[in-house]
Amino acid sequence: MDTKIVRINEVNKDEAIKEAGHIIQRGGVVAFPTETVYGLGANALDKSAVKKIFIAKGRPQDNPLIVHVADKKIDAFVKEIPPLAATLMEKFWPGPLTIIFKKSELIPEETSANLDTIGIRMPKNELALRLIKESGTPIAAPSANRSGKPSPTTMDHVVNDLNGRIDYILGGDMSEVGVESTIIDCTVTPPCVLRPGGISLEALQRLDQTIYIDPHILVKSENIKAKAPGMKYRHYAPNAPLTLVDAGEDTIKVINDLTKEYQVQGLRVGILCTDETHRLYSGDEIHSLGSRAHLETVAQELYDALRLMDAKDVDVILCETFEEKELGITIMNRLKKAAGFKVIKSNG
Q: Report the distance separating Cα 285 and Cα 231, nearest Å.
A: 30
Nearer to Mg ion, 17 or 166 (CB): 166
Q: What binding mask, one character per residue, do residues 32-71 give for ligand TXA by CB under 6 A, x or -?
A: --x-xx-x-----------------------xxxx-----
The residues, ordered by sequence, that sit 6+ positions from 99 with a Cβ below 8 Å of its Cβ are 85, 88, 89, 119, 120, 121, 183, 184, 186
Q: Report the distance separating Cα 333 and Cα 181, nearest Å.
A: 13
Cβ pair 272, 318 in contact under 8 A: yes
Determine, following the binding rule CB under 5 A, whether residue 143 of this chain makes contact with Mg ion: yes
Q: CB under 5 to 8 A by kind: which of Mg ion, ligand TXA, none does 154 bind?
A: none
Of the candidates 184, 124, 193, 179, the residue with the CA atom closest to the CA atom of residue 327: 179
Cβ pair 166, 29 in contact under 8 A: yes
The residues, ordered by sequence, that sit 6+ positions from 228 with a Cβ below 8 Å of its Cβ are 183, 194, 195
Q: What binding mask, one character per residue, do residues 224-263 give for ligand TXA by CB under 6 A, x or -?
A: ---xxxxx--------------------------------
- DSSP, residue by residue, 218-246: GS--TTS--SSGGGGS--S--SS-EEEE-
Q: What binding mask, one character per residue, do residues 186-205 give for ligand TXA by CB under 6 A, x or -?
A: --------xx----------
Q: How far is the CB of 2 from ligand TXA (least distance, A)?
A: 23
Q: How far is the CB of 187 from ligand TXA (least distance, A)?
A: 9
Site for ligand TXA (CB under 6 A): which residue of 110, 161, 180, 304? Answer: 180
Q: CB under 5 to 8 A by kind: which of ligand TXA, Mg ion, none does 39 bind?
A: ligand TXA
Q: Which residue is nearest to ligand TXA (CB)?
A: 230
The distance from CA 79 to its chain's CA centroid, rounded to whole angstroms, is 27
Would you tell me which residues interact with ligand TXA (CB under 6 A)? 34, 36-37, 39, 63-66, 96, 98, 100, 112, 115, 117-119, 121, 141-143, 180-181, 183, 194-195, 227-231
